[in-house]
Structure formats: structure tokens, C-alpha cells
Structure 1
Amino acid sequence: MTEIRTPRLLLRTWHDDDLVPMADIHADPRVMRWIGDGQVRDLERTAEDIERWEEEWDEEGFGLFAVELLASGELIGFAGLSVPEWLPEVMPAVAVGWRIGSQFWGQGYASEATHASLEFALQDRGLDRVISINRVGDNASENVIRKLGMALERETAHPAYGYPLHVHAIDLAEFQA
């Protein structure tokens, strides 16, 4: 699998010792507020998530990278690509996404990691279009999406929970401009 280095981050494969720090991120209600049903996740659910993310790499040739700080080697969350099958109306699609521990917010890590992930999608994996989906009201995510140069494509509702979602998109020509 590919590793990507940015000025401050390493986007890499998942290691066994990533489970506990990722579970700590999933246990933070501030992190999980805008995700799914908003509930925190335990160690077992986090292990299932990581296993699913690794399977997507095998099946699709892309997935969610573990993101660590180059300076310390500390896991700060994930960023990368996924197929948003849970939102059938946007399919076929590949989405860029991220989840960063709250202690690392406000330092530009999400923007740095997602930009590298978007570059990977469009240049290394040959995708011609990538989307991002966020819950309406999650202004921090909206800011990251805007920094990527993505444009609002539609507003819809989460199929399971009913809350409003924004779907943003960018294609290769827009990204290279």
C-alpha cells in the first residue's frame, strides 16, 4: 500500500497498535457528534471499523489511511477515500473523508491530510471526480471542504437518520486549475 508524506504528516497503513488510540478518538463525543448517529464507539466497534477500512484497500485499491504526526509518530486519526454505499443516490462515487482527534483540531492537519488524499485519488488512482459528504451545521468540515476547492453539488438527507447533508464535488480539471 502507498504511504504519503506531507510536511507534517505520514498517511500510512494501519498497525495493530493503532487500535487503542483510534478507539480513544472514537470515544470522544466531540469527534463523533457529526458522524452517523452521533454515538461514541468502543474498542470492539473501532476494531471492526479498521478491519473494514483495510478490506476496502484490498477491494478498491484505495481506502482510509492512518494519519500520524511525523514529529512524534503519534496517531491523530484517519484521512483518505471510501465508497459511500450508505448514500445510494450519489453512487457510483468515491468520497474523501477524515476523522481527527479533537486535541489536534485547529492546526490544519485535516486540511493537509485530505489534500494529500485528494491528490492521491485524482493523480495516483486516476479518479476523475471525488466527492465529500458532511452534515449540515458541521462548519469545521465545511471549511476543510472549501479549502480543497470542492463545490456544493446538492443537499440531501441521511437515509437512516434523516438529518440534512451537503454533498460537495471536484473533478480533476478543477483540482489541477
Structure 2
Amino acid sequence: MEELLHRGLDVYISGPGLYTLPAVSAACDANFCHHTVSLPTMLKLFSRYASVGVINTLLHWSIFALAYHWLDSQSLSNLIAFCVAVTFSFFTNARWTFRSEATARRYAAFVAFMGLLSWLVGKLAENMALPPLLMLVGFSAMSLMLGFVYSRYCVFRSEP
């Protein structure tokens, strides 16, 4: 089995077009080690997740603009916009992308991870005096990639 290192995650090639990722977060339970899926299946899931992400991003950016206008705080505005958008994203991805049950535990895990990411990116932008648009673009890109991996392998993982 050939091992590759890709962006800090161990990826194993276990056959033609089959890829396996070990647990990617401490929030993932200890019994979860390797789930093998085909590349076309993974691309289909990511495409669905990204489609929801486009709508989610429009929602997030609109609310951020209104909140930033009133509050003049990137971290707080990003967190408020996130709270509204993440609820839409969670329920839509649970039902349509991952075809999983939307439970309170899964919602809490998703919101906690994504909320922390949202706040940290906003705080980093404030500390670096980055323009709000740059912060939004950076957060949107990071949340798409990290959110998909976390959702697929931790929040909506298949039970072993």
C-alpha cells in the first residue's frame, strides 16, 4: 500500500481509484480509522457539498455585510453571519449531501468546529488589519475544504 502525504493528512491508495483517510480530528471517535470510498463517490459528495456552499456563501456574505456595517467588527460580524449560514448548511448537507440524520449531537459538533474556524479567521484578519473582503474570501475557501473533510469523516461519517 503506497502512502502519500497530502496537506497534513495521510492518504492511502488501496486499489484503483480507492482512497482512504484516517481520522482527521480528535473529535472523530477512536474506532474510526479507515473508510474506503471510490474517487467518483468522493467527487460526487464534494460537488454536492460545494453546491450547498455556494448558496451558503451568498447567505453568509450578505449577513456579514449588514452586521459589519452596524458593528464594525470583523470577528463578531463573521460569527453572526456564520451562525445563520451554518444552520442552513448543516441541515441541507445532512439531508442532501450525506443523506444522514440531522441530530443535535452532529449539529453541535459541526457548529463548534466551523464556529471556531469562523471566529479565528475573523480575529486573524483583525490582527493583521486585512480588508473584510479578503477575510471573507479566505474564510470561504478554508471552510469549504476543512468543512468538507470534517463533515465527511467526523460529523456524517458512516458508522463502522
Per the shorter chain, which TM-score range? Answer: under 0.3
Q: Which has the higher helix share?
A: 2
Greater C-alpha radius of gyration = 2
TM-score computed with the length of structure 2 as normaliser: 0.27
